[in-house]
Structure 1
Amino acid sequence: MNNLEYKIVVSNVSKSYKMYNNPIDKMKEGLSLTGKNLHTNFWALKNVDFQVERGEILGIMGRNGAGKSTLLKIITGVLRPTYGEVLVEGRISSLLELGAGFNMEYSGIENIYFYGMLMKLTREQIDDRLQEIIDFAEIGDYVNQPVKTYSSGMFARLAFSCAINVEPDILIVDEILSVGDMRFQSKCFNKFKEFKKKGVTILYVGHDVGLMKTFCDSTIWMNNGEIEMTGDPAYVVSKYTEFMYLDDISEFTTYKMFQKDEKKTGVNNRELMNSGDETTNKKFNLKNESVEKIEEKIGNNSITHWGTHVGMVKCVMLADGNDIEKTYFSPEDIIKIKVVFDSTAIENLKKFSVAFSIKNKEGTDLIVKSTYDEEIYFNSPKKKQFVTFSLVTHLAVGEYYLVIALEDRKNPAIMYYEYIEGAKYFKIYSDKKIFGIVDMKTDIKIESME
């Protein structure tokens, strides 16, 4: 394998398990002289194929039973594939099962050495890392006590510290970033960032879609043992969220998805952000426009577009304080978000809500508002009505996109009449150097103690 290209190559990997109705059938099949088959084959993985570059953080997501853990066990060598092959270059440190290999009778110190030897480190190498592992775990003098006396949190922190301080070439993380308090989690993420700078390849598996979008360079969505989609995290996560919503409501309602040509793979951020409308510098009066003219303003540039009543939204417009349509704003500009919709299909308008979200390129919600949460309600259904949100974003320089949602708020779990992710795209520009996500107005005073 070329060290400069890929650290992990998974080639057409499939994994089958024999499933028996009861344990005795397995014995009967083994002892059968006629070769009678008493099992069925369950394919946990089917023709999985992908590569991971050196220094890449790859996220793998999917609902329970999608085949994620089976795939990781094959990559780490715990399981062998039924078909296909996996090529891995370098030392793997896995956080699949924290504390695997620990002896409960040994002290924390003894288990650090034991784990290090399992990872093929010399005693001298472990000596060099010992204090760093102890300091990172933050369990104090308990490190000299048998681990059987540890709380579950202390045990996990020590195991986590051991796993990430052995200088791996590849780190595999499986939904364990909830270890410890907020301070400890921050330390873990800083360590991961340090790994990335050093060129360590990281595989992260989890259900935290926010983390998937902000932490990973690329994402794989797995479903029923197969790769459903791969590509840009923001795009793949959006499609996965859409799928999970469909899966939850498909038995109870008619689900529709906005029909357009879509690729199996995601799009990169540059293509995504350049797909929005150009600045028109045209004043647009919603009340004077015909329905046909308004509907022309819903384009095909959305990332995802779905819901139970697709087509309710007739127009989404971004404008400045003078109602001039634009896609470029300064942090101090008034931005108006205007949504035209048809509410005649809504039975309970008191539980109906219009919402928007402004997201960055990674798909992180930065600003979210809804009529329902602001206690603004609709009186009567109308064929053509609109809501205007006016705000000053104070956002830092960058590229952003808009999500528009028509919500049913009857239950704590929000249902969506229509959900458009990527309804509009825009940029924030400024000559001022802005650090952080937003540029909030701050009162600064200089005073003397004399």
Structure 2
Amino acid sequence: MYTALWTAALVACFRLASLADSTPACVIELECRECVPDHMPLVTSHSAHGGRVSAAHGDELRLACGGGALLAYPGRGAVRAVCEHGRYRVREDGQLRHLLELGCQEDVFEDVLHDVEHCGSPLQGRAYKTAASGAPRHLATLCYDAERAITRRAHAVAAPGDELHMAPHSDNFSPLTILGNFNHMFDANTRRDAEALFSDDVSANRRLRELLKHEDIALGDQSVTAGKLLAPHYFEDQNARVTEFASNKMVMWRSVAHGNWHHLQRDVAAALQSARRVNASLHVFAGTHGALGLRGRGGRARVALRAGGRFPAPRHAWAALVDPRGAGVALVVLNDPFVAVSEIKDAVFCESMCSSISWLRELRRNRNYETPLLGLTFCCSLQNFTDVVTELPKKIIPRLDQYSILTDLNLQESDPSRNTV
């Protein structure tokens, strides 16, 4: 009898454990636009890993909209919700809601006008900011060419506190509303164009082929896509969402964007993560240089998604890592899978050092960085790079003539007196 009772108890326990294991968790896929609200709140109780926030059944999540308010709760900037079978039981009123019902009225991240050092007219200074978890924080700054609709330089940093060390500045120059900021960056037509061009590759490529159809240019299977200057993996946790701003995107050939530009960004992201682990400071600049032209019937035809050269494909995309203690390197990708052998000497404007940089693991694998189809890549000293690429001014890096090549990531904890980039 006792044996039968013990057996029944064990079976019941196993059944309960099985039910617990099968209870749906709450998984928020931040990179899935259809899976989250248009204005996703910050989850201040859990961290994101690999582009998702995971919470077990019964976990309480805190969702914050900062100065804004939740759509379902206009009087509240934050709510607490318990994960229940994949949905969310809101503590404040007991309602069981889908995540799509818990969006904010406005984006928790802002792309605002901002004073940016070494970003003078005609370029426009901008900053990516958030205030959803307390005081406003700067996540990145940019120099934007509003006339041509392309960012020339972006800047982010891995540092204690994960916040940009910016020169003294005032935020008063910014319009007071997100709508005002976005409209000031783009007039109505440009804003509509940016949203369409960078969200629909099929439409963008159809437009490009229409613009080039009289130039007798054979594109073959090549197509363009929206490349990102600052990669999501450069940022910690949910801050990666700022890379979705249109000002962070550029016209890039798909084989390049998913080839060496992707590998380069993975290596840069790993370097930034290494710096954060040891509480060191490491700056990353990224930008564009030149305008891509393809050989056509009447000479070089510029590649751009709008007439008049707006939304152009840059000839080069680049990222520069700067250790303020006196080391750095610039990594340059040629955004031209059609480049001829005779043109490579002109396109590669420094003696490449990629083979000697130990932390470029993804990029150096199988030596694909030498393949034009994937984006011919070369590595320059900061001195040689800034001789050519004026988008990164020499004066932005103090003591530039004393910098060595960042071949190894021998990072140490930051010395605030040296962090002056």
Smaller-chain TM-score range? under 0.3
TM-score between both structures, scaled by the size of structure 1: 0.25
TM-score between both structures, scaled by the size of structure 2: 0.26
Rg: which structure is higher? Answer: 1
